Chains A and B, each alone.
Chain A
Amino acid sequence: MTEERDPHTMTRRQLMRHSAWFGAAVVLTVAGGEVLSHVAGLAGTAGAAAPAARPALRFAQISDSHIGFTGTANANVTDTFTEAINQVNGLGYQPDFVIHTGDLTHLATPDQFDQVKQMMTGLNTPHIFTVPGEHDSIDDGGQKYRQAFGAGTRGDGWYSFDTAGVHVIGLVNTLNMTKLGHLGTDQLDFIQKDVAPLSSDTPIVVFSHIPLFAMYPDWGWGTDDATQALSYLRRFSSVTCLNGHVHQLFTKTEGNITFHSGTTTAYPLPHPGDGPAPKPLTLPAGKLHDALGIREVTYTKGQQALALKEQTLA
């Protein structure tokens, strides 16, 4: 089921907003119009805790750039990806890292990998992470992807790291598919061992291209062995799974695990089941940018949930 709004949250939110307005002039000077959407989760004792000047971690997600796509749905995916990069660079702070959640390329050609890699070096961030999409592993089991982006990864390209008290896992679920996305036993073992030593209050962030929840299996929008992977993560108090693939925003919560499908920088896809197939949608002139975007994610110590903010392409 999707998230229900908690009336108590609303109340507290209103209270918080009221508090904010108490010093409104200052707030507006400092943070402009950004403030109202910056903090998504007010869980825990955030309201009472001494606030930090800067979130412990803030990163940006971009996805599904499909470099090499030609078609009416987007006449120039290179331009829109450049705009997305510029938008990340214009956030007003330097993200601690940027994650690209796959379908970097459209057809996994060496030229397309070179191009997307070169473009991403323009991101103003210390570090860029990626996971492959099925378009990046179209005909070679992900070999060319790993050649371009697989340095330092394990297995078929998965990895994990710790930063600012958050444990981050990058997964590969676009190989050996029979209908849905697939992780495979090696990767499942990796996840199990990877999180075993962690304390249950460690916030977990998981990147994958294909959703780890059943968003729409008839179109392959799910992962057949995700349940196994998620079983290793259920004991953690906060698990945030970020994916691409579906080219649209969607959120679903299962207990402590929240799934967030991100949008694309290339072209929209239909809503689940809307039409015969997940084929690129050509929007009326002038509407494309509203369907494309980038995502900001912040983690503030003391808050259980990570905060997400979506931005459409300007």
Chain B
Amino acid sequence: MFRPHRSLTALPAGAVAIAAILLVSGCSGSSPTPQGSPSINFGSQASTTPGMPGHSAAGPTTVTPVDTASPTVAPAAVSGPAVSITNFAFTPATLTVPVGATVTWTNRDEEPHVIAANDGSFHSPGLGTNSTYSFTFPTAGSFDYICSIHPFMHGTVVVTK
């Protein structure tokens, strides 16, 4: 079912090759099309156009990479009930705590994750690698949550009286 696409790149010689021959050898009766870019028409859409101009429209710019690499933060020691995020899974998937407990999630993946309660009662910011998020459960109940950017990840916190 899954087939690498790379083989498609070995695609055929064709019209461009022919075009090149005809153009260069002067055999073509047709005149070359203008070399300018085709215009882009946004129809009746907003007065501003989507997207942004590139270099050729904005004048020369130099790409200056900004080094924003932040040092890897070692996870702080977590005391109290904890959920670890590893390999796109919450461990434990179901955690039982008493009312008033503070649960701390630690993201141990290289991918960011976001903790989001299905009922909206808690929602973390984006958690980078080794970032933590804590929430104190004021009421009893069963709280299902997902990772809002990987919504196939599921977890539950059961809060008992």
A to B CB contacts below 8 Å, 9 in the list: A30-B24, A36-B11, A47-B18, A54-B32, A97-B54, A250-B3, A250-B4, A308-B9, A310-B8
For A70, list chain B residues within 8 Å (CB).
69-70, 72, 128-129
Given contacts A53-B32, A70-B72, A152-B45, are A16 and B55 in contact (CB under 8 A)?
Answer: no
Tell me the complex Cα distance, A305–B150, Å: 33
- Tally inter-chain residue pairs, CB-CB below 8 A: 309
CB-nearest residue of chain A relative to B29?
Answer: A50
For B126, list chain A residues within 8 Å (CB).
107-108, 138-139
Contact indicator per residue, chain A 52-73, by CB within 8 Å of chain B (1) or not (0): 1111110000000001111111
Is residue A231 within 8 Å, beta carbon to beta carbon, of the partner chain? no
For A39, list chain B residues within 8 Å (CB).
11-17
Is residue B91 within 8 Å, beta carbon to beta carbon, of the partner chain? no
Q: From B74-82, B92-100, B107-115, B135-143, give the one contacting chain A.
A: B107-115
Given A70-B69, A107-B112, A126-B53, 14 more pairs with CB closer than 8 A: A17-B13, A30-B24, A42-B12, A47-B14, A78-B67, A82-B63, A106-B112, A123-B54, A124-B55, A127-B57, A128-B54, A151-B49, A159-B42, A249-B6
Tell me the complex Cα distance, A26–B23, Å: 10
Q: Are A152 and B46 in contact (CB under 8 A)?
A: yes
Tell me the complex Cα distance, A86–B58, Å: 17
Tell me the complex Cα distance, A86–B41, Å: 27
Tell me the complex Cα distance, A279–B86, Å: 10
- Which B6-56 residues have a C-beta within 8 angstroms of A? 6, 8-25, 28-30, 32-35, 37-43, 45-56
CB-nearest residue of chain B relative to A311?
Answer: B9
Tell me the complex Cα distance, A39–B12, Å: 6
- B interface with A by C-beta (< 8 Å): 1-6, 8-25, 28-30, 32-35, 37-43, 45-58, 61-70, 72, 87-89, 109-112, 114, 123-126, 128-129, 148-152
Is residue A162 within 8 Å, beta carbon to beta carbon, of the partner chain? yes
Given contacts A117-B52, A218-B152, are A163 and B38 in contact (CB under 8 A)?
Answer: yes
Which DSSP category, helix, strand, loop or mixed, fits chain B's interface?
A: loop
For A1, list chain B residues within 8 Å (CB).
1
Q: Are B14 and A46 in contact (CB under 8 A)?
A: yes
Q: Are B4 and A162 in contact (CB under 8 A)?
A: no
Q: Are A277 and B87 in contact (CB under 8 A)?
A: yes
Tell me the complex Cα distance, A280–B111, Å: 7
For B6, list chain A residues within 8 Å (CB).
249, 310
- Which A77-91 residues have a C-beta within 8 angstroms of B? 78-79, 81-82, 85-86, 89
